[in-house]
């Protein structure tokens, strides 16, 4: 009896792992397909019979030719500037706001926080037209200002909310002890709250990196000159110009995707904790 139960158990377990393994396999197919095609001769991509699982000769040269067929070095530089500025601005101003909303008592706090929370529900499409017109009147279209300045103005409701949740979990005794020792609110923020919130700050930095690295909606609206494009928009442009060169397009895509995967591998533990903490994503 016991033995039979065990057999059933093992069959069940095996089926379970087979199922989840199959799902994992399906999940990575697109990535596999991208890398596979990036290494192939373009004519081989059109061959379906016999089916080519992996190129017999890996063409590393696809990566250099893809990179050199468009100003990708320039795009990469532009993207890094935008991403870095956004990370800096978001870390600075969202943590400040989160601090004000969690550990300082002031008149209007609840109201302001409520308003900022509501913006999370606001469809981006509602504000994009007037936002564009405002930047246009300020003669800021085709500059990076519309893509960077918002990060220095709070850095988005999601990040403020995430950091506030985290700050609330830090015991109040620490502030009180510091205040008795004569520390002001600014010193408490810089020397107690921020150092204790490293992991939350990392989550915000990671989300900001990914959000801006991957963003194409902002750049297609605000940037016109080709030499100001980001990698995501450069990739879009590349597809328009080289629609039939699938191997080069996949090589370029692989290069743009690689930093995301690298960052994800380093920070995925923090990211997933961040989502579980707030119950949402950026």
Partner 1 sequence: MRYKEKKLLNAKTKSNLVGWAFALPAVIGFLFLNLVPMLLSGYYSFCDYNIIRKPVWSGFNNYISLFKGTDTTFWLSVKATLLYTVMAVPANLIFSFAIALLLNRDMVGRAFFRSLFYLPCILPAVASSFVWILLMNPDFGLFNVILDFLHLPESKFFWDKSSVLPSIVFMGIWSTGSTQVIFLAGLQNIPRVYYEALEIDGGNAWHKFWSVTLPMVSSTLFFNLVIGIIGALQVFGAAYIITEGGPNNASLFYVFNLWRQAFKYMDMGKASAMAWVLFVVVLLATLVVFKTSNKWVYNEGGDQ
Taking CB under 8 A as the criterion, which residues in 59-118 touch partner 1? 92-94, 96-97, 99-101, 104-109, 112, 115-116
Q: Which of 148, 160, 204, 251 binds partner 1 (CB under 8 A)?
A: 160
Do the beta carbons of residue 231 and residue 75 sit within 8 Å? yes
Q: Which of 15, 19, 168, 169 binds partner 1 (CB under 8 A)?
A: 19
Which structure tokens are listed for 122? 């606001």
Q: What does the DSSP 8-state code read for residue 150?
A: G
List the interface residues with partner 1, window 191-210 (CB under 8 A): 210
Nearer to partner 1, 57 or 107 (CB): 107
CA-CA-CA-CA dihedral for 182, 187, 191, 197, to nearest 10: 120
150 binding partner 1? (CB under 8 A): yes
> Of 240, 243, 239, 219, which is closest to residue 229 (Cα–Cα)?
219
CB 271 to partner 1: min, Å: 8
Looking from the CA of 271 toward its CB, the CA atoms found within 13 Å total 17
List the interface residues with partner 1, window 207-266 (CB under 8 A): 210, 213-214, 216-217, 220-221, 231-233, 235-236, 239, 246, 249-250, 253-254, 256-257, 260-261, 263-264
Interhelix angle 198-214/231-241, rounded to 10 degrees, is 20
The separation between CA 37 and the C-alpha centre of its own chain, rounded to angstroms, equals 25
10 binding partner 1? (CB under 8 A): no
Q: Which of 129, 168, 190, 266 binds partner 1 (CB under 8 A)?
A: 129
40 binding partner 1? (CB under 8 A): no
Do the beta carbons of residue 248 and residue 242 sit within 8 Å? yes
268 binding partner 1? (CB under 8 A): yes
Before 50, cis peptide (omega within 30)?
A: yes
CB 116 to partner 1: min, Å: 6
């Amino acid at each position: 009896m016991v033995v039979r139960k065990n057999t059933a158990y093992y069959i069940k377990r095996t089926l379970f792992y087979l199922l989840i393994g199959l799902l994992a396999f399906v999940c990575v197919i697109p990535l596999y397909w991208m890398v596979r095609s990036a290494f192939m001769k373009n004519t081989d991509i059109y061959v379906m019979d016999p089916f080519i699982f992996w190129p017999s000769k890996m063409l590393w040269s696809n990566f250099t030719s893809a990179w050199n067929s468009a100003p990708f070095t320039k795009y990469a530089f532009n993207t890094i500037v935008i991403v870095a500025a956004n990370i800096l601005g978001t870390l600075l101003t969202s943590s400040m706001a989160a601090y004000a909303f969690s550990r300082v008592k002031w008149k209007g706090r609840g109201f302001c926080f409520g308003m900022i929370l509501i913006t999370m529900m606001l469809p981006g499409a509602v504000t994009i037209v007037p936002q564009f017109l405002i930047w246009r009147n300020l003669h800021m279209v085709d500059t990076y200002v519309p893509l960077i300045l918002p990060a220095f103005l709070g850095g988005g409701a999601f990040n403020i909310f995430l950091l506030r949740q985290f700050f609330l979990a830090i015991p109040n005794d620490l502030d009180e002890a510091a205040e008795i020792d004569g520390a002001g609110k600014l010193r408490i923020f810089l020397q107690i709250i921020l150092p204790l919130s490293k992991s939350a700050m990392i989550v915000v930095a990671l989300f900001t990196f990914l959000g801006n690295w991957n963003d194409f909606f902002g750049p297609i609206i605000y940037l016109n000159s080709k030499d100001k494009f980001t990698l995501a928009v450069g990739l879009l442009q590349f597809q328009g110009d080289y629609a039939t060169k699938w191997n080069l397009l996949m090589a370029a895509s692989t290069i743009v995707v690689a930093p995301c995967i690298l960052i994800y591998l380093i920070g995925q533990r923090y990211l997933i904790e961040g989502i579980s903490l707030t119950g949402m994503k950026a």
